[in-house]
């Protein structure tokens, strides 16, 4: 089912801008509390990610629950779009990953995929593709940026010894306009 027909172009643009502003503000709020990957995690993820991503992406464990849901997400829920920050184990805000509990390697991998997407697309284009994917598909799980992160996470989980380049896969999907 396509939901974009129920949203005007100005609605879509407003949601894209609100998402980009939310991401930027939350990233700035949580960055001072974030820490880099451990040396063991760096070693485990090095075959899949560039050193630049591994060295710049930081993780923050929020002790008082999930990231608060912004008003525009509540509005989207009221309009029939299924997305909930409370259900997410972690949220990637450009190069800062915020969670409210300890994350296993598969979720960290998934969030690092999002860090690559941000690096390649930039904040504004990431927000644009995320919102348009959400409005087109109607739910968080069906957003192409999320689906690709899940696909790569599953590939890693299935066989962590099978080496592949997340950056190359993300770039290929960008080139093929899959987001």
Taking only the tens place, the pLDDT of each residue in 91-142 is 999 999 999 999 999 999 999 999 999 999 999 999 999 999 999 988 888 9
- Extract the tokens encoding 51: 């050193």
Q: What pLDDT does 4 receive? A: 55
pLDDT greater than 50 at residue 1: no
Taking only the tens place, the pLDDT of each residue in 37-47 is 999 999 999 99
Report pTM: 0.94
Domain that holds residue 124: 4-175
Q: What is the dihedral of CA 177, 171, 145, 95, to 10 degrees?
A: -140
Taking only the tens place, the pLDDT of each residue in 63-78 is 998 898 999 999 998 9
Q: List all residues 6 or more positions away from 29 whose beta carbon is below 8 Å from its beta carbon.
A: none
Q: Other C-beta atoms within 10 Å of 135: how many?
A: 22
What is the pLDDT confidence band of residue 87, given thresholds at 50, 70 and 90?
confident
In total, how many domains does the chain have?
1
Q: Other C-beta atoms within 10 Å of 170: how many?
A: 23
Q: What pLDDT does 31 receive? A: 98
Q: What pLDDT does 5 receive? A: 58
Question: Which of these ranges, 23-27, 64-68, 142-146, has the smallest mean pLDDT?
Answer: 64-68
Q: How many CA atoms lie within 13 A of 18 on its CB side?
A: 16
Can you tell me the distance from the alpha carbon of 64 to that of 101, in angstroms, rounded to the nearest whole number?
10
């Amino acid at each position: 089912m396509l939901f974009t027909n129920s949203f005007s172009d100005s609605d879509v643009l407003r949601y894209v801008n609100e998402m980009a502003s939310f991401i930027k503000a939350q990233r700035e709020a949580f960055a001072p509390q974030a820490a880099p990957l451990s040396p063991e995690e760096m070693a485990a993820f090095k075959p899949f990610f560039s050193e630049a991503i591994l060295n710049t992406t930081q993780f923050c464990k929020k002790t008082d629950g999930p990231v608060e849901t912004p008003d525009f997400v509540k509005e989207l829920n009221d309009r029939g779009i299924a997305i909930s920050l409370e259900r997410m184990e972690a949220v990637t805000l450009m190069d800062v990953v915020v969670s409210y509990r300890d994350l296993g390697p598969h979720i960290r991998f998934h969030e690092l995929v999002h860090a690559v997407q941000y690096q390649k697309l930039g904040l504004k284009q990431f927000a644009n593709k995320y919102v348009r994917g959400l409005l087109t598909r109607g739910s968080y799980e069906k957003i192409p940026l999320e689906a690709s992160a899940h696909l790569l996470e599953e590939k890693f989980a299935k066989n962590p010894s099978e080496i592949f380049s997340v950056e190359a896969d993300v770039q290929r999907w960008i080139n093929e306009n899959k987001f």
